[in-house]
Amino acid sequence: MSNQADHTIVRLRVPPELKEKIEKAAEENNRSQSAEMVSRLEESFLSNRNESTDEVYELISEKFLLNLMRVLKEQGLDNQLINRTIVKSANLLLDDEPKKNPEK
């Protein structure tokens, strides 16, 4: 049980249907209704952070790939070779087990 001094009291109005869901979930999870609500609120903030992190990772990956393609083209590689190389690399990443002797 946590120390009450390290928590702030918050009064919250909820619809009766939601209150019933909280009661049921708290009972199923063997914790107080207050602990259930705190847990669910904390989880919602973590979930939002993970979604934001995923979006940033996708954006960085996309920009990295586009910059890599641009640099390779500047180095004299043609688009067809660049695309084949990227597809081959992507397939290696998607394989459960990388091939010991990938095609050249």
Cα separation, 35 vs 23, whole angstroms: 11
Q: What is the pLDDT of residues 57-96, one digit of tens each?
A: 888 888 888 888 888 889 888 888 888 888 888 788 777 5
> What is the residue-averaged pLDDT of the chain?
83
Cα separation, 57 vs 51, whole angstroms: 10
Closest CA to 18 of 46, 39, 42, 37: 37
User: What is the pTM (predicted TM-score) of this model?
Assistant: 0.46
- The pLDDT, as a whole number, for residue 2 is 60
Whether residue 54 is predicted with pLDDT greater than 80 in this model: the reply is no
Q: How confident is the model at residue 17 (pLDDT cuts 50, 70, 90)?
A: very high
2, 9 in Cβ contact below 8 A? no
